[in-house]
Structure 1
Amino acid sequence: MTPAFRWRSRTTFAPFITARGRLPTMSSNRKGDRRERELVNRLDEAGFAVMRAPASGSATTRELPDVLAGNGEVFYAIEAKASSGRPIYLDGEEVEALIYFSQNFGAKARIAVRFDREDWYFFHPGDLYVTDGGNYRVKKETALAEGEDFESFTGGPTQTKLGDD
């Protein structure tokens, strides 16, 4: 009896194996795009009108935020970043461009971060840690302890953290 699927030998994938002897994982760009779409869908479900600017970062010389969102009362220009658990770094120029765009557009600048197996957390750029090189950093522990959770950000029920009375 022939199985419904056939195991492929490693030689089948030989052209794709990396120098470390592994099959490549999803590229960070594809993962970032997927996470941005996830954020757009969540904001849409929360009642925001949302637009993703997929050209941000490469296809244009203008610096655009990853996501624009508004609900008629508040408007956000959002730079979205995701990580498996390692600290997230943002280029200083990227954050300054977000602030510049937000001010001219009449939106509030926010940095949205998501770590694997965690929800989205939001920061005002001024609340982020600035490195000696002028870049910005968000650690997972910082996001969980100090970030604004998704429900609070969208005006939904807020998350109560231990120690909050």
Structure 2
Amino acid sequence: MPNLNRRRGFAHERDLLLKLWRRGFAVIRAPASGAKARRFAVPDIVAIKNNRVLAFEVKTAEKKKTIYIPKHQVEKLLVFIRRAGGYGFIAVKIVGESGWRFIEVDKLEKTASGNYKVSPDMLVKSFKLGDLVSFVQGNKRIDEYI
């Protein structure tokens, strides 16, 4: 049985999946926790709408804390979006808040150890779910949000 943090993580992944589904995306949750799945570049969630592929690594964080992301998770997300011709995001669920924040994988900061991080300042400037919906509907290019 998974520990409490993993169960919360799974619950947040399902929450994001449901929110994307309700906004018209075709969505699949692809947890790669099994040993055989780890050798493939599989993100936590893949969402498709209007021929745009969005791939997400899902993280949970407290409001004013930096989020650290292992290098291998970012690399598998990059491999997947290159193969799919899509867009990659770190999806962040802030504990105690109802919404989600999305950071483009290309905008992540690299740490001295080679891993990646999302600072609290980056979260403030990140996309919201409505921004992603507007993007896939063709209302704006992704770079118009920055």
Cα deviation, residue 80, structure 1: 0.9
Distance 2:42 2:8 in 1: 19
1:124-146 C-alpha deviation (Å, 9 max, x unpaired): 11211211111111133421x21
Distance 1:58 1:148 in 2: 31
Q: Which has the larger radius of gyration?
A: 1
Partner of 1:103: 82
* Structure ranking higher in helix proportion: 2
Q: 1:42 to 1:96 in 2, by over 3 A?
A: same
Aligned pair partner of 1:30 in 1, 4, 7: 7
CA contact (8 A) 2:29 2:44 kept: yes
Classify the secondary structure of the residue corresponding to 1:64. coil
1:125 and 2:105 matched:
yes
Partner of 1:67: 45
1:18-71 C-alpha deviation (Å, 9 max, x unpaired): xxxxxxxx72111110000000000001111100002x2434232310001011
Q: Please give the TM-score of this superposition, normalised by the length of structure 2.
A: 0.80
Instruction: Give the % identical residues.
Output: 30
Which ranges of 4 or more aligned residues in structure 1 deviate by more than 2 Å? 84-87, 139-142
Distance 2:72 2:22 in 1: 31
Distance 1:99 1:84 in 2: 25
Partner of 1:46: 23
Aligned-residue CA RMSD in angstroms?
Answer: 1.7
For structure 2, list consecutive stretches of 5 or more residues without a partner in the other structure.
Answer: 136-146
Classify the secondary structure of the residue corresponding to 2:101. strand
For structure 1, list consecutive stretches of 5 or more residues without a partner in the other structure.
Answer: 1-25, 157-165
Partner of 2:142: none
Partner of 1:92: 71
1:80-99 C-alpha deviation (Å, 9 max, x unpaired): 11123332211112101110
Cα deviation, residue 116, structure 1: 1.0
Partner of 2:130: 151
Q: Please give the TM-score of this superposition, normalised by the length of structure 1.
A: 0.71
Higher RCO (C-alpha 8 Å, min separation 6): 2
CA contact (8 A) 2:53 2:84 kept: no
